[in-house]
Structure 1
Amino acid sequence: MVKSMADNPVIFAMANPDPEITPEEAHEVRPDAIVATGRSDYPNQVNNVLGFPYLFRGALDIHARAINDPMKIACAQALAELAREDVPDEVAVAYGRKLTFGRDYIIPTPFDPRLIHRIPPAVALAGMETGAARRPIVDMDGYEVSLQSRMDPTASILRGLNARARAAQARMIFAEGDDPRVLRAAVEYQRQGMGKALVVGRSADVKAKLEAAGLGDAVRELEVVNAANTQHLETYKELLYKRLQRKGFDRADVHRLAARDRHVFSALMLAHGHGDGLVTGATRKSAHVLNLINHVFDADADHGAVGVTALLHKGRIVLMADTLVHEWPDDEDLANIAERAAGVARHLGLEPRVAFVSFSTFGYPVSERAEKMHIAPRVLDKRGVDFEYEGEMTVDVALNAQAQAQYPFSRLSGPANILVVPARHSASISVKLMQEMAGATVIGPILSGVDKSIQICPSVATATDILNMAVLAACKVG
């Protein structure tokens, strides 16, 4: 029977656990068959969990009198639209392979985190348009964000930043156009109305990578820039030579850097106003990328640059610094780090409460290693800053209200939301430990204290992480 079917036959074998015909059996006689089953170990799993929970969610949220046909159709259409979109890295991790719309992926997977905030709004809107809603939703955008925040703790924080990014319409430079994650982030940046995405790379490479990622239609949307097609290379080289001529670089060295290194080329674009923000770092270690950025900008400890990482866990957000620039800061540096971190906190809508953390609390046990953490608050005393700070203290005293209550003289009005740590290595260890062991969501490190808006992603960043860093750069957080 299968063999006699027309071209590209569609076969839904829904019996569980043994389908009427397996994909292997169908493809043996018809390699062009599109096969779906109810099993998770085969492509195209058709499962009630894709529709009913979200159909009910949308119906309940508008207090629907009934679930009518237009609401069911809206659910199906939303699923169909979602299947054609770029699939998040989180789904690829769950299934161990990259999914793109085609024979083996015609319907979203049950593990897709977007289902919760894409299906219910479509159902609710259909119910409202057909008169089934007894309590219509006034703010549909807010409703979608509230649904998203149930799965993604960064959603509520990023909502305001996304709105600011759309208002800014920044021309964002994506330095690593040969990486599929970066290209997907660039496409999303532009398609979500954030602004213009400028991708640094070879046109042929970008086209091939986009097509391989199932985003071939985005080739015409992105502007691809490189040393070969820019009119400004000589201008870029002149600036770079002026900065590096007394640091052992001759004009041949400068040409190689400007023409062949995408990080340096992108930084030169930004320095000349040929973009409003820069996102890089996804393909190389942060320290290496920061060193290259410093050829063009003063993004080092001596000039006040600081890295601040946001940790989101169990409904709380805590910033940690310095996670990028200062190797072993002294008390003055620690005070500078606190001020930069406080600025980032305010950009994110938080009122800063800084704790200088150590293994000692308010002078005990006495240690030379903890002394600078004890002195840093006094430096801020002299500066007359306008935010709460205290130290030195252990992390539990900084974050736990009960532990904090044992020190009634503390100047903090509540648990700290900024932790300034003694050194970069302790910051790095703490962030990665929280991420790997506790499952905390990490945003950053956010580069602060540089003349232009530059964000350096970690090399393990997903496309979503890179997009979030682009949003931060567009909003000039830092």
Structure 2
Amino acid sequence: MDPEASRQQLERQAALDYHAYPRPGKLEIRPTKPMATARDLSRAYSPGVAEACLEIAADPALATRYTAKRNLVAVISNGTAVLGLGNIGAQAAKPVMEGKAVLFKKFAGIDCFDIEVDEPDPEALADLVCRLEPTFGAINLEDIKAPDCFTVERICRDRMGIPVFHDDQHGTAIVVAAAVQNALRLAGKRAQDIRIVGLGAGAAGVACLTMLHKMGVPLDNITVFDRSGVLHAGRTGLAPEQMIFATAPAGLTLEQALKGADMFLGLSGPGALPAESVREMAETPIIFALANPTPEIMPDAARTAAPGAMIATGRSDFPNQVNNVLCFPFIFRGALDAEATEINDAMKLACVDAIAALARQTTSAEVGVAYEGERLTFGPDYLIPKPFDPRLLPTVAVAVARAAMESGAARRLLDLEDYRQALEAEVFKSSLVMRGVFAAARLSRRRIVFAEGEDDRVLRTAQVMSEDSTDRAILIGRPEVIAQRIDRAGLSIQPGRDFEIVNPESDERYRDYWQSYHQVMRRHGVTPDLAKAVLRTNTTAIAATMVHRGDADSLICGTFGQYLWHLNYVSQMLSTPELSPAGALSLVILEDGPLFVADTHVHVEQGPETLARTVLAAARHVRRFGLEPKIALCSGSQFGNLDSRSGRAMRGALAILDSQPRDFQYEGEMHTDAALDPALRERLLPGNRLEGAANVLVYATTDAAGAARNLLKSAAGGLEVGPILMGMGNRAHIVTPGVTPRGLLNIAALAGADVATYG
């Protein structure tokens, strides 16, 4: 077997194994309510379930309150037009429908049942779909051949009071329209002036052309071909949706139609667009060759024929992939949340505008990581966003919900700002708990110096700071390297305008900085020559010196190297009798809410005094997030049952804390499970001082705190914010090398917020 055939065989087997193991298929059903006791069972089923049934019987609209209907979509197919596989039947289509359901859940948190129906007759299929309305909040029709798909959707839309959306038609059309909107902007053309030639008059082709017409392209400017030739008024056997575009003269050829055309839209088959015809098109042609897996013309051939062409395909290995996943999860999300009766033209056009506008914005840090190495800057090779852009959910769903309300399709009115924030909290797990911090950061204008200013994550953070905050980023690094990496990442920030640069190799303040460093460290073994060397090469020392001198308000370092190494230079320059490291506090966001852990990095082993200071600092910082601290002093000893080192330290800290009135809850020493389980804790120590579960866990060693932090992140899937360096008056923060761009942005918000604004 030749290497290519061997590779294909391995990929085929890998795909089959993916579907077969560890359990067959890609979906499962999980309960959303507790089912652990007889009381749970009586509420979930008999007799408690009767109460919900009676309420819905009295008012059917309450089904969206007492059942999962508002978040439940049916993905329905008869398997007559599956992907590029054709009419393979309903059962063979099931892996595709399961995959569609997974995408709904992954990208928009929508639950799905995939339903494969062995029914080729479109009217009978439509009747079956209509009878499912009591179960679902919306219907996604999928992979039904044309023209049957037009009939099925038309009947369902007429009879049903919930959204019915044939994604092969409208999802493709929306993404195509968004890309065309941006292509026209770049080409300096208007929709009402362009001429389009379409090749392929199936469901997707007709829907795309319909959407482009609704964007402003006149019907007389659209010429359509299928395998039988041009669509014209004398053609028979066309569906009403196809006849709308039968405006061309009989006998017109594809080559003739393409002369001077502004756009080619292909949803047909491989190699159907000759390069010679591309040369005959208008200047800066728009070529959407969307046949899969082989387009009507390969992008390199189209680019050779028309160097200024803007090209899209259906493939992920070329720029501008037209992928339905950019649309369907998010348009359904907005429609479901607004309890829309349909997905109307206003909602579709709002989706188009939202997707197009997102591509014109600076690419998010998360997308930069997911598509590392690609240049993701708005232009001919970036007309539409990437599927893994987390901003799609809040951006598109809010636009769709707004359009549903404004057009009268919504049965539920939403506060759109609250709705946006809720969606952002779904895709950015830290969004909700960080909201107050970001708000506080906007009230002050602080200068934040990043010690590792050449790092891509830092550059993306600086980009967001320039767009969304009043803080000023200062980057330590070589200007030419920073410029190169900004260009590679497709960012728009510019030195001077959006941020400042401190070049360790040539900054004019070098002499002042090394002298300041030497002045502080001269009685700690640092000679002038050593001070010069440190301030020429050590960016953390430079950043700390800047804050010490007042040239910056706060520093962030640690994207590489060891935490304690960075802490040494931070402490050298910024520790004072009033300010010194009190511990590192990590916020881990779990499904059940936030949980703080300290001290994860600073004090390898703590005594009573440092523990008490850590507790006080943690209480202060937890309130920065708008939360009331409930602090558990955790140890291997439980309420005095062991004479261990950590037990003695915790009991000593408790005595120090008890020596003065405190305005927060704390208790110790105890095991971690007792901290998190109020019932267990009450059995062990009735009348203890904590109410409910602790939200702050304080340990006597970094070994224990670090283990708890890592377990919460790795085993429990928690998202970390931090570590937050406590005790330094917000003058310094040290991250860890694994910090994500979003994590770095969160720390920048903490650094950018004046502590005084928190009260």
Q: TM-score with structure 2 length normalisation?
A: 0.57
Aligned to 1:392: 669
CA contact 2:339–2:411 (8 Å) conserved in 1: yes
Write the distance in 1 (CA, Å) between the matches of 2:719 and 2:654.
Answer: 29
> Higher mean Cα deviation, 104-113 or 316-325?
104-113
**C-alpha displacement at 1:179, in angstroms?**
0.9
> Higher mean Cα deviation, 63-72 or 351-360?
63-72
Instruction: Please identify the structure whose Cα radius of gyration is greater.
Output: 2
Aligned to 1:441: 719
Aligned to 2:425: 149
Q: Is 1:236 matched up with 2:475? A: no
Deviations 1:179-232 (A, max 9, x none): 111011011111112322222222222111100111145454222233566554
CA contact 1:404–1:415 (8 Å) conserved in 2: no
Aligned to 2:621: 344
Write the distance in 2 (CA, Å) between the matches of 1:299 and 1:273.
Answer: 15
Deviations 1:371-418 (A, max 9, x none): 322332122112433221111111111012232231323111121111
Deviations 1:244-282 (A, max 9, x none): 101111111112222332211111221222222222211
CA 174–302 in structure 1, closer or farther in 2 if over 3 Å, else same: closer
Q: Is 1:458 matched up with 2:730? A: no
Aligned counterpart in structure 2 of residue 423 of structure 1, from 698, 701, 707: 701
Aligned to 2:396: 119
Write the distance in 2 (CA, Å) between the matches of 1:297 and 1:252.
Answer: 22
Deviations 1:297-352 (A, max 9, x none): 11899945321110110131111111121111112211111111111111111111
In the alignment of these two chains, the number of paired residues is: 474
Aligned to 1:297: 574
Q: Is 1:381 matched up with 2:658? A: yes
Equivalent AA in structure 2 for residue 418 of structure 1? V
Q: Is 1:307 matched up with 2:307? A: no
**C-alpha displacement at 1:364, in angstroms?**
2.7
CA contact 1:179–1:283 (8 Å) conserved in 2: no
> Higher mean Cα deviation, 167-176 or 41-50?
41-50
CA contact 1:455–1:469 (8 Å) conserved in 2: yes
Write the distance in 2 (CA, Å) between the matches of 1:300 and 1:314.
Answer: 40
**C-alpha displacement at 1:424, in angstroms?**
0.9
Aligned to 2:255: none
Task: Report the 3-state secondary structure (helix = DSSP H, G, I; strand = E; otherwise coil) of the residue aligned with 1:177.
Answer: coil
**C-alpha displacement at 1:429, in angstroms?**
2.1
Equivalent AA in structure 2 for residue 118 of structure 1? T
Aligned counterpart in structure 1 of residue 532 of structure 2, from 255, 273, 292: 255
> Higher mean Cα deviation, 306-315 or 294-303?
294-303
Equivalent AA in structure 2 for residue 343 of structure 1? R
- Unpaired segments ≥5 residues, structure 2: 1-272
Write the distance in 2 (CA, Å) between the matches of 1:75 and 1:302.
Answer: 51
**C-alpha displacement at 1:73, in angstroms?**
2.8
CA contact 1:294–1:300 (8 Å) conserved in 2: no
**C-alpha displacement at 1:20, in angstroms?**
4.5
> Higher mean Cα deviation, 225-234 or 334-343?
225-234
> Higher mean Cα deviation, 92-101 or 50-59?
92-101
CA contact 1:388–1:412 (8 Å) conserved in 2: yes
CA contact 1:271–1:452 (8 Å) conserved in 2: no
CA contact 2:561–2:737 (8 Å) conserved in 1: yes
Write the distance in 2 (CA, Å) between the matches of 1:22 and 1:299.
Answer: 70
Write the distance in 2 (CA, Å) between the matches of 1:152 and 1:57.
Answer: 17
Write the distance in 2 (CA, Å) between the matches of 1:242 and 1:96.
Answer: 44
Aligned counterpart in structure 1 of residue 358 of structure 2, from 63, 78, 82: 82
Task: Report the 3-state secondary structure (helix = DSSP H, G, I; strand = E; otherwise coil) of the residue aligned with 2:560.
Answer: coil
CA 29–69 in structure 1, closer or farther in 2 if over 3 Å, else same: closer
**C-alpha displacement at 1:70, in angstroms?**
4.5
Aligned counterpart in structure 2 of residue 432 of structure 1, from 692, 710, 717: 710
Which fold has the larger relative contact order, with Cα–Cα distance below 8 Å and residues 6 or more apart in sequence? 1
Aligned counterpart in structure 2 of residue 226 of structure 1, from 503, 509, 529: 503
Identity of counterpart residues, as a percentage?
Answer: 36
Task: Report the 3-state secondary structure (helix = DSSP H, G, I; strand = E; otherwise coil) of the residue aligned with 2:733.
Answer: strand
Aligned counterpart in structure 1 of residue 445 of structure 2, from 163, 169, 176: 169
> Higher mean Cα deviation, 236-245 or 322-331?
236-245
Deviations 1:61-117 (A, max 9, x none): 556676554543332222123234444454455567555136664322333221111
Write the distance in 2 (CA, Å) between the matches of 1:39 and 1:466.
Answer: 33
Aligned to 2:261: none
Q: Is 1:27 matched up with 2:300? A: yes
CA contact 2:582–2:610 (8 Å) conserved in 1: no
Deviations 1:443-465 (A, max 9, x none): 11101111452111111112211
Write the distance in 2 (CA, Å) between the matches of 1:342 and 1:144.
Answer: 30
Give the alignment's Cα RMSD to 1 decimal.
3.0
Write the distance in 2 (CA, Å) between the matches of 1:361 and 1:153.
Answer: 33
Aligned to 2:637: 360
**C-alpha displacement at 1:12, in angstroms?**
3.5
Write the distance in 1 (CA, Å) between the matches of 2:610 and 2:713.
Answer: 26
CA 231–12 in structure 1, closer or farther in 2 if over 3 Å, else same: same
- Unpaired segments ≥5 residues, structure 1: none
Equivalent AA in structure 2 for residue 176 of structure 1? E
> Higher mean Cα deviation, 184-193 or 294-303?
294-303
Write the distance in 1 (CA, Å) between the matches of 2:738 and 2:673.
Answer: 29
Task: Report the 3-state secondary structure (helix = DSSP H, G, I; strand = E; otherwise coil) of the residue aligned with 1:168.
Answer: coil
Equivalent AA in structure 1 for residue 674 of structure 2? V
**C-alpha displacement at 1:171, in angstroms?**
1.9
Write the distance in 1 (CA, Å) between the matches of 2:716 and 2:284.
Answer: 46
